[in-house]
Structure 1
Amino acid sequence: MTSKNYIVVAKQLEDNTILLSFPDFEGLTATADSEENIQTIAAKAIKTKLAELKNSNIDAPEPKKIIEISKNLQAGEFTAYVLVTEPPSLNTLKDNETLKSVSDKVDNFINSDIKKSLPEGKEHFLGIGGAALAILNTLIFPVYTLVGFFGIVGGGANFFNMGAIYILFGLAFLAFSGITIYGSLNRDLKFLQISALGFLGVFILCYILVFITALGNSYLSVGIIKFVLYLISASLIYSGYRILNSLNDSNN
């Protein structure tokens, strides 16, 4: 649901009623018996119109600018904003359906194809494997950069020549990997959920920041191999969590 400020144009008639028109909705009018009732009556009229548009699969119009409306006002007319919470538009509904479809396909792939390839009772090894790969990626491949292959000749462990914030990212990867291993061994879904979401969040934030500043720092650990390994780690950790969660739901 989204809220928008639509414009109502009001004009007092000779019988003291107030005629309301709506520039965003051609042909829509209403009447109010006092200025105090303008907002209530205008909001009701707009909501009714929005519902009609939704039933006809027509997107709600974007509100016009009040400066545009003011230029064409007639004598005795004045404007007011009307805050209206509108139903989701057709495009929004389609976008939500698309996202849900993609999410369902990912869950089906994890809980069918990946799950079937694992020995029964060994599902927790997915998370452990993803965490172990992340730890190795953090500690062994910090020297792989955009401007140098492994950088061993140039000084080796360039991880410690990065800025403090990137060292913190490395420590965060290690911390969430440790939580993942603990949660996987104990099949603790709460810990696994925290580690899966935390790892994904750190991964996304880290590489957004890293790729923005990478070209100016020869020591920056942003290589494609490192990126792919973290991506694989995140996928394994998330898959392990989803499978253990589905098993827990089926047992309950």
Structure 2
Amino acid sequence: MPKNKIAWIGLSVALVVVLAAAGCQPRRQVDQETVDNSISNQVTDQSGGAGAEFTPYPGTTPPTSGLADPDAIQAQLVKETNDATAFIRLIQPDVVLTLVSTKYINSLSNSFGLSTNYYVFTSPTNPDYYFLVNVPRNGLDPMKRFLMPVQDFDLDFDVLPVPFEYWKLNYAAALELAEGQGGEAFRAQHKTFETSVILARPAGQHLNWFVTYKATDGSGARLQVQVDANTAEVSII
């Protein structure tokens, strides 16, 4: 199976599961075979603008979790968001950021297991597609762009553009809060797990981080935490 297809399958499943848990029910399953319609482009611009090489994330890696320090990585995340936006606008100038997604396996470290942040955009003049940029967290690999027809990720709810004025917590800060509301205990109990972290604003809701811990030890255990990206209010879904 091509790597692009694997990446889209993982992202699509994570988005459906987490947003459905927040009260948004998908109409149907994602048609995984149609991921072949995605496109991928390597970075060619090394001049310091969109597509420039990234420096590895700074920050601490506490031995108990591996999670980066939220304050230490904030400047890099702002740059990453701006660069991802500029990069995708080279092929669709009017896109707006709609979702941010990342995932961890068996650790919360940026240097272990999966190491990619996904930025998902929509276009008011080209509404038939989602425009996606994946940005490796290791600072070594280039950004890549993908295009996906909306019918291949068909949801019966509206996800609104990210209101940047309310985006005050980055994903590491959201994870820190989720860790304190049962995430750390969940990881201690389940040594093999996946953690997905998605920033989204479903219609009628605030901008939230949706954090899902899923055990992969056969127990079927799951913990879902919602963190308001503006106020840091935490609730268990």
TM-score when normalising by structure 2: 0.22
The structure with more strand, counted as a fraction of residues = 2
Structure with larger Rg: 1
The structure with more helix, counted as a fraction of residues = 1
TM-score when normalising by structure 1: 0.21
